[in-house]
């Protein structure tokens, strides 16, 4: 459980993103959560200088499909970072575990296979309230945190 506000950070330590290009892959499952994460990420990117025309967003049906969506953007665009945005809420079956493990491993493999970082912005919570709290609620917005990570990783990539 988050113990700090996910949207709080030292904005002076964030590189200027005006020359960076970003891809966002957003799961359509739990759209009230994923749209909030998307909106938080875009707001943070823009706040740090990213240009609207340098942000590409696509939707995929669910969190498991984030991997293919990210791969598609990585193969077909000159991006500096990609953010995978999803939400998986624990249910009564093992499906939660399989999806979470698969998505996590898929994002790891993308980071190993490509020279463009993919940032993991997938909420994996026990209930919907936890997801709401982390997508613009009392714990801030994980989308903001992930956008900041994407900017920092894009700067790392540009410096390599």
> Mind listing the pLDDT tens digit for each residue in 75-115?
988 999 999 999 999 999 999 999 999 999 999 999 999 99
Instruction: Compute the residue count for the chain.
Output: 160
Query: Domain residue spans in the chain?
Result: 18-159
Backbone angles phi, psi at 126, to 5 degrees: -80, -25
Catalytic position from the list 38, 48, 72, 95: 95
Residue 81's CB: how many other CB atoms inside 10 A? 26
As assigned by CATH, the class of the 18-159 domain is alpha beta
pLDDT at 1: 41
Is there a catalytic annotation at residue 38?
no
pLDDT at 98: 95
pTM above 0.85, yes or no: yes
The list of the chain residues with pLDDT below 70 reads 1-3, 160
Backbone angles phi, psi at 116, to 5 degrees: -120, 125
């Amino acid at each position: 459980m988050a113990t700090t506000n996910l949207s709080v950070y030292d904005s002076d330590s964030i590189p200027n993103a005006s020359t960076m290009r970003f891809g966002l892959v957003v799961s359509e499952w739990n759209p009230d959560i994923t749209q909030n994460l998307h909106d938080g990420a875009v707001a943070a990117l823009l706040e740090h200088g990213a240009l609207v025309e340098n942000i590409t967003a696509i939707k995929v049906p669910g969190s498991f499909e984030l991997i293919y969506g990210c791969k598609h953007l990585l193969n077909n665009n000159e991006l500096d970072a990609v953010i995978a945005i999803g939400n998986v809420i624990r249910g009564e079956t093992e499906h939660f575990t399989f999806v979470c493990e698969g998505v996590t491993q898929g994002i790891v493999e993308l980071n190993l296979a490509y020279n463009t970082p993919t940032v993991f912005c997938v909420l994996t919570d026990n209930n919907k309230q936890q997801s709401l709290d982390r997508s613009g609620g009392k714990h801030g917005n994980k989308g903001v945190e992930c956008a900041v990570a994407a900017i920092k990783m894009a700067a790392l990539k540009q410096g390599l």
